[in-house]
Structure 1
Amino acid sequence: MQENRENQKVPSVIFHTRRGHEWVDVSSDDIFRGKTVVVFALPGAFTP
């Protein structure tokens, strides 16, 4: 089981996303700043 990471900041990363017909770089700080979020993941065996 993974350790509890409550109240820790999300690491600063850049997401390469599409906005309309253009590629845009969006930082995790832009997305998560000032918000409470829940982040979870599934092992690859459970993804389609």
Structure 2
Amino acid sequence: MADIDSVYQRLRAWGVTLAHGLGRPPDGPYRAFGVRAPEGNLLRFFGP
């Protein structure tokens, strides 16, 4: 996949529960979102 929007939309379409939605942190030039793995680990995805 070419961009974070595509990854985000695909995971949502698959019914993946988000730990936090897609957004831009106040101090970052990037956008990010997170999901929890079944073991409880936080997986964060970053992109422009």
The TM-score with structure 1 as length reference comes to 0.23
Q: Which has the higher strand share?
A: 2
Q: Which has the higher helix share?
A: 2
Larger Rg: 1
